[in-house]
C-alpha cells in the first residue's frame, strides 16, 4: 500500500465499501503514515459534519402509524381475486414470458422444420388452384385468369419435371395469358416437340429456338389433334416484358398444362415460375 493508493481509495475506507483484507492494509498504512492519517481524519470530520447535518435528532418525531392504519382500506386485499391473479402473474412473469417466447418460437420455426430436413412433400392440392374461368364471350378470345386461381406459382428447375421440383409455394404476380385462334395451316416450329395430353386430344408446345439458349419472347401453341384447330397463348399483362413461356408439360388433367415462365434472355438453368393453364 502506498500513499497514492490510499488517497484513491480513502472514500471506500470511509464508507467501508471494501474487502476486509484491503481495509486492513489501508488502516495499517494510515496508522504508519502521518500525512495520510491527517487526510483521513479530515475526511472523517467532513463525514461527521454531513451526518450531523442530516440527522434529525433535533426534530421531535411523532409516529403517524395509527393515522396510516386508519386511513387505509383494510378490506382492499381480502378476497380480491383480481389483485391476487395480478400479483401471481407479476411474481411469475419471467416464467410466463419464457413460456410465451418458447411458444412463439415454436410457432415461427415449426413450418420451416420440414423444409430444413427436406420432408416436405408435394402438395396434392397443387392442381386445386389451377382451375380458372374463361371468358369465351370475349371477342379477342382472351382467357382471363382470376388472381386467386392463377396467382399460384411454384419455383421449379427448368428441364426437370415441374411437379417433382415444386417446392416453395408462393404467391406471385397475376399473369394472364391471351388466347388467340390461329389460321388453319399455320406452321409452328416447336422449341422441343409437340407434347400430347394424356387422352390424346390436345398437343402443345413452346414455339421455336433451341432449349436453354437466348430465346426471345415466345408463344405457346395448342392444337386440337382431331380438328387441327390451333390456338396461341401469349403472356398478356406481363409485369416484366422479358417474361416468356419456356417450357410446358401436360398435367394429369387433360385440359391443363403447366407452363414455366422465365426470362426471355440468357441461359436459364433453374428458377422461373410455374403457371397452370386451362386450355378451355
Residues in the site for other proteins, rule: CB under 8 A? 2-4, 7, 11, 15, 17, 35, 39, 42-43, 46, 49-65, 67-69, 71-79, 83-84, 86-87, 90-91
Host H or E run for residue 203: strand 202-206
Residue 219 DSSP code: -
Minimum CB–partner distance for residue 23 and other proteins (Å): 16
Residue of 179, 162, 173, 121 whose CA lies nearest to 274? 162
Can you say how many angstroms the Cα of residue 41 is from the centroid of all Cα atoms in its chain?
66
Minimum CB–partner distance for residue 30 and other proteins (Å): 14
Minimum CB–partner distance for residue 275 and other proteins (Å): 58
Cell numbers of 191, please? 422449341
Measured at the CA of 276, the angle between CA 271 and CA 279, to 5 degrees, comes to 140
Minimum CB–partner distance for residue 103 and other proteins (Å): 24
Give the DSSP per-residue string, 82-136. HHHHHHHHHHTHHHHHHHHHHHHHHHHHHHHHHHHTT-----GGGGGGT-----T
Host H or E run for residue 49: helix 34-54
Q: Distance between CA atoms of 276 and 147, rounded to whole angstroms?
A: 12
Minimum CB–partner distance for residue 33 and other proteins (Å): 11
- In the bound state with other proteins, the residue whose beta carbon lies nearer, of 4 and 21, is 4
- In the bound state with other proteins, the residue whose beta carbon lies nearer, of 79 and 124, is 79
- In the bound state with other proteins, the residue whose beta carbon lies nearer, of 59 and 189, is 59
Minimum CB–partner distance for residue 99 and other proteins (Å): 19
Minimum CB–partner distance for residue 175 and other proteins (Å): 58
Q: What is the SS3 assignment for 148? A: helix
Minimum CB–partner distance for residue 19 and other proteins (Å): 15
- In the bound state with other proteins, the residue whose beta carbon lies nearer, of 49 and 270, is 49
Q: Are 25 and 1 in contact (CB under 8 A)?
A: yes
- In the bound state with other proteins, the residue whose beta carbon lies nearer, of 51 and 187, is 51
Q: Distance between CA atoms of 71 and 7, rounded to whole angstroms?
A: 52
- In the bound state with other proteins, the residue whose beta carbon lies nearer, of 72 and 139, is 72
Can you say how many angstroms the Cα of residue 115 is from the centroid of all Cα atoms in its chain?
14
Sign of CA dihedral 75, 79, 83, 84: positive
- In the bound state with other proteins, the residue whose beta carbon lies nearer, of 78 and 187, is 78
- In the bound state with other proteins, the residue whose beta carbon lies nearer, of 40 and 247, is 40
Instruction: To the nearest 10°, report the CA torsion of 6, 12, 16, 22.
Output: -50
Amino acid at each position: 500500500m502506498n500513499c497514492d493508493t490510499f488517497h484513491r481509495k480513502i472514500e471506500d475506507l470511509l464508507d467501508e465499501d471494501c474487502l476486509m483484507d484491503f481495509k486492513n492494509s489501508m488502516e495499517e498504512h494510515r496508522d504508519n503514515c502521518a500525512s495520510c492519517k491527517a487526510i483521513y481524519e479530515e475526511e472523517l470530520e467532513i463525514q461527521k459534519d454531513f451526518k450531523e447535518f442530516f440527522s434529525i435528532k433535533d426534530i421531535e418525531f411523532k409516529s403517524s402509524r395509527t393515522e396510516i392504519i386508519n386511513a387505509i382500506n383494510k378490506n382492499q386485499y381480502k378476497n380480491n381475486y383480481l389483485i391476487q391473479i395480478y400479483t401471481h402473474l407479476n411474481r411469475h412473469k419471467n416464467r410466463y414470458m419464457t413460456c410465451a417466447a418458447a411458444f412463439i418460437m415454436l410457432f415461427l420455426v415449426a413450418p420451416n422444420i420440414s423444409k430444413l430436413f427436406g420432408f416436405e412433400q408435394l402438395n396434392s392440392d397443387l392442381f386445386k388452384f389451377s382451375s380458372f374461368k374463361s371468358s369465351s364471350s370475349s371477342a379477342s378470345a382472351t382467357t382471363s385468369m382470376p388472381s386467386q386461381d392463377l396467382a399460384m406459382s411454384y419455383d421449379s428447375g427448368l428441364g426437370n419435371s415441374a411437379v417433382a421440383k415444386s417446392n416453395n409455394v408462393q404467391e406471385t404476380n397475376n399473369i394472364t395469358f391471351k388466347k388467340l385462334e390461329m389460321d388453319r395451316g399455320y406452321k409452328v416450329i416447336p422449341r422441343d416437340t409437340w407434347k400430347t395430353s394424356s387422352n390424346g386430344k390436345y398437343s402443345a408446345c413452346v414455339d421455336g429456338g433451341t432449349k436453354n439458349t437466348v430465346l426471345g419472347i415466345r408463344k405457346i401453341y395448342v392444337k386440337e389433334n382431331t380438328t387441327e384447330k390451333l390456338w396461341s397463348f401469349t403472356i398478356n399483362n406481363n409485369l416484366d416484358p422479358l417474361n416468356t413461356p419456356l417450357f410446358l408439360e401436360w398435367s394429369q388433367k387433360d385440359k391443363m398444362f403447366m407452363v414455366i415462365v422465365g426470362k426471355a434472355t440468357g441461359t436459364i438453368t433453374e428458377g422461373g415460375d410455374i403457371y397452370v393453364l386451362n386450355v378451355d
